[in-house]
Amino acid sequence: MAAALGRGLASRQALLALAAPVLGLLAWHLATAGRPYSLVPPPWDVAVQWWDLAFGGVWDDLYSATLLDHTLASLGRVYGGFALAALVALPLGMLIGRVAVARDLLDPSLQILRPIPVTAWLPLAMIVFGIGPRSAFFLVFLGAFYPILLNTVFGVQSVEARLFEAAAMLGVSRQATFWKVVLPASLPSIFTGLRLGLGFAWVVIVVGEMTGVQTGLGAIIMEARQLSRTEIVISGMITIGLLGFLSDRLIQALGRRLLRWSPQHG
Amino acid sequence: MDDLAALPVQPATAAVPILDIQGVGKRFAFGAETITALSGATLRIPKGQFVCLIGPSGCGKSTLLRMIAGFETASEGTLLMAGRHVAGPGPDRGMVFQDYGLFPWLTVRQNIGFGPAARGRPRAEVAATAARFLEMVGLTRFADAYPHQLSGGMKQRVAIARVLANQAEVVLMDEPFGALDAMTRENLQQELLQIWESAGLTIIFVTHAIEEAILLADRVVVMSPGPGRIVADERVPLPRPRDPTGVEFNALRRHLAALLGSQH
Ligand SMILES: Nc1ncnc2c1ncn2[C@@H]1O[C@H](COP(=O)(O)OP(=O)(O)OP(=O)(O)O)[C@@H](O)[C@H]1O
Ligand SMILES: [Mg+2]
C-alpha cells in the first residue's frame, strides 16, 4: 500500500517535471514553426541538427558526427580543471581554516581576488596562456576553485567544539584530531563546495572555449553563430545542459553514498 | 612544566582518593570583568563512589566537571587524578555530555568502539568491546544506525557505552538525563546503577533534581552560586534499591531542599 503510494507519488513527480519542458517545447514550436524569417529555428529542425551532429547521415557536412569529439574535449577540460582546482583548494582551505598563520597570510589576498569575475580573467589568461585550450582550462580551474575553497574553509572551521572534547576525552591525540574529527565533520561542507565547483566549471567552460579553441562545445557554439547555424548553437547548448545535469547527478549520488550519516544528505 | 605534571605527587596507594580536589577555583574573563565561577572547592572522592553534584543554575557545577575532565584549567587549587595532576583531557576520565556529543558520521557500533580504535587497539578487540557494550546498553539491534536515527534516550545510552568501552575509571556526567522523559530517565537511572555496581566505576553526576541525586548517589554535594562554592556534603546512607516514597528518603529530600532553599 505504502509502496504503491510511493510509486504513485514518484510518477506524479515525474509527470510534473516533464510538464514544463513539454509546454516550453510547444510554445517554442508554435512561435517558430512555418516562419521562414524567424531568427530562432523550430524545435524539430534543432532535433534533426542534433542528430546529425551526434551521428551524421543527415547533412553530412563539416559538423556531422563531430559531437563526441567536442564533448570529449570539453569534458576533459571541465573535469581536468575541476580536479586541479580540488587538488589545490582542498588542502589550501583546510590550512586556512585550521592554521592561524596560513589564514593571516593568505586569506586577505584571496578575499581581494575573489570578487574579480572569472570572465574578467579571460583577457589576461589569453595573454599569459595564449589562445588555445590552456586558457579554457585555466578559467575552469578558477571557476571551480573558489566554491571549493570557501566551503572547505567554512567546513573545517565550523566543527562543533563538543566533538573535539569528545575525541580528546576518548584518547585521540592532538595530531590525530584532524583525521578523526575535522575531516569527517567537514565532509558535508566540502562536498557542497565540490558540487558547486563542478557546476561553475560547466558554466565557465563555454566562455573559456569561445576564444580560439578548435574543439569543444563552447567552440562550436561560437563558430556556428558566426556561420548563422543557429540549430547548431542550440544543439550545443542543449548538450552542455544535459552533460552538466548528468554530472551533477553523478556527484550527488556519490554524496549520498558517502554522507549517508548526514540528515541533510542521506 | 609538562614533565613536572607527569610526575606522581603522591604514591598511588589505596589511601589515595581517585580524585583529590583541593581548593579549586575558576575565574572567567568576561569582557573587562572577571567572573568567579567557582572558588575553594575541596572534595576527596574515593574509588567506586557515586557522587551527585546539585545546586542552582550558574553555581559552577559544569565548570567543576569540565575542570576534572581537563577541558578547562583551574585558576587556583590543585586537581589530582589517581595522585597525578590533571593536565588535560584523558581516557581515564570519560565525559557523558548532556547533548551527547556523538560523532554523527559513525554508526552506533563505531561510536562505541571509537576510543579503543583511536588508540590503536587491534580490530578484533575493538569489535568485541563494541559488541559487549552494545549488549550492555541494549542497542545491539541499532548497532548499524547513525546517531540522527536514534531517540534522545538511545543517544544517551551510546554516550555512556562509549565512555565505558574506553575503560574510563571516572565517569563524569553533566545532567545526562535532563532532556529525557520521566520513563526513559527512570530506566536509564536503573541501568546506570547496574553498570556502576558491576564495573566498579567512580561516577560524578550533575543534576538539578534532588530526587535523582538521592536515588543514585552515595554522596550528595550541594553547591551554591555567586561565587560558586560547595556548601554541603551529605552521605546517603540508604540501601539500594531506594524507595522514593520512604520516610528516610523524604527526610533527606527535605533536608537537601532546605539547604538549596536557604541560599536565596
Ligand atoms: N566559558 C565561559 N566564559 C565565561 N563565563 C563562563 C564560562 N563558562 C561558565 N561561565 C560562568 O560561570 C558560572 C558557572 O557556570 P556553570 O556552567 O559551571 O554553571 P552550572 O552550575 O553548570 O549551571 P547550570 O545548572 O545552568 O548548567 C556562570 O556564571 C557562567 O556564566
Ligand atoms: Mg551546567
The full set of domains in chain B, from first to last, is: 2-92+169-261 (3.40.50.300), 103-167 (no CATH)
What pLDDT does A211 receive? 75
Sheet order of strands, B93-96 included: B93-96, B170-174, B202-206, B50-54, B219-224, B229-235
Residue nearest atom 3 of ligand 1, based on CA coordinates: B28
- Give the right CATH number for A65-258 from 1.10.10.10, 3.40.50.1110, 3.40.640.10, 1.10.3720.10: 1.10.3720.10
Question: Among B63, B71, B105, which would you mutate to test the A interface (most chain A Cβ atoms within 10 Å of its Cβ)?
Answer: B105
Rg (CA), chain A: 23
For residue B3, what pLDDT band results from cuts at 50, 70 and 90? very low
pLDDT at B10 exceeding the cut of 80: no
Nearest to A261 among B91, B146, B166 (CB): B146
Does ligand 1 have an atom closer than 6 angstroms to the CB of B105?
Answer: no
pLDDT at B36 exceeding the cut of 80: yes
- Per-residue pLDDT, averaged over B157-182, amounts to 92
What pLDDT does A6 receive? 66
Tell me the average pLDDT of chain B.
91
- At which residue does the C-alpha cell 583546510 appear? A94
Minimal Cα–Cα distance from A250 to chain B, Å?
22
Which residues does residue B171 pair with via DSSP β-bridges, in sequence order? Answer: B94, B203
Collapsing DSSP to helix, strand or coil, B28 comes out as strand
pLDDT digits (tens, 9 = 90+) for A227-236: 999 999 999 9
What pLDDT does A214 receive? 87
pLDDT at B263 exceeding the cut of 70: no
ipTM, two decimals, is 0.89
Which residues does residue B100 pair with via DSSP β-bridges, in sequence order? Answer: B97
- Distance from C-alpha of A45 to C-alpha of A235, rounded to nearest angstrom: 10
- How many CB atoms neighbour CB B91 within 10 A? 19
- Distance from C-alpha of A198 to C-alpha of A145, rounded to nearest angstrom: 9
Ligand approaching nearest to the C-alpha of B230: 1
Predicted TM-score (pTM) above 0.90: no
pLDDT at B96 exceeding the cut of 90: yes
What pLDDT does A4 receive? 63
- Distance from C-alpha of B181 to C-alpha of B174, rounded to nearest angstrom: 17
Give the CA dihedral B143, B149, B152, B155, nearest 10 degrees. 30
A251-254 CB contacts, 8 Å cutoff, 24+ apart: A251/A194, A251/A195, A251/A198, A252/A195
- For ligand 1, mutation pick of B39, B52, B59 (most atoms within 8 Å of CB): B59
Buried b (16+ CB within 10 A) or exposed e, B139-172: beebeebbbeebeebbbbbbbbbbbbbbebbbbb
Contact B106, B142 (CB under 8 A): no
Contact B100, B151 (CB under 8 A): no
Contact B115, B95 (CB under 8 A): no
Q: A169 and B119: CB-CB below 8 Å?
A: no
Cα-based distances in Å from B225 to A217, B27, B39, B162, B231: 71, 13, 10, 32, 10
Counting residues of chain B whose pLDDT is more than 70, the rounded percentage is 94
Contacts for A177 with CB less than 8 Å, ≥ 6 apart: A164, A167, A168
Which chain B residues contact residue A266 at CB under 8 A? 146, 148
pLDDT at B2 exceeding the cut of 50: no
Give the torsion sign (CA, A250, A254, A260, A264): negative
- Per-residue pLDDT, averaged over B201-210, amounts to 94
Ligand approaching nearest to the C-alpha of B63: 1
Tens of pLDDT along chain A (266 residues) come to: 556 666 777 888 888 889 999 999 999 999 998 888 889 999 999 999 999 999 999 989 999 999 999 999 999 999 999 999 999 999 999 999 999 999 999 999 999 999 999 889 988 988 998 888 888 999 999 999 999 999 999 999 999 999 999 999 999 998 999 999 999 999 999 999 999 999 999 989 888 888 778 899 999 999 999 999 999 999 999 999 999 999 999 999 999 999 999 887 75
Nearest to B43 by CA among B28, B70, B25, B62: B25
Where are the domains positioned within chain A?
Answer: 65-258
Q: A169 and B90: CB-CB below 8 Å?
A: yes
What pLDDT does B93 receive? 96
Q: Which residue of A has its CA nearest to B70?
A: A169
Q: A172 and B106: CB-CB below 8 Å?
A: no
What pLDDT does B15 receive? 67
- Distance from C-alpha of A139 to C-alpha of B209, rounded to nearest angstrom: 63
Cα-based distances in Å from A150 to A53, A97, A118, B254: 39, 9, 16, 57
- Distance from C-alpha of A64 to C-alpha of A70, rounded to nearest angstrom: 12
pLDDT digits (tens, 9 = 90+) for A57-75: 998 999 999 999 999 999 9
What pLDDT does B1 receive? 42
The residues in A 140-199 lying below 8 A from B, measured between CB atoms, are: 160, 162-163, 165-172, 176, 180-181, 184-185, 187
Give the CA dihedral B131, B136, B138, B144, nearest 10 degrees. -20
Nearest to B159 by CA among B215, B78, B70, B97: B97
What pLDDT does B85 receive? 95
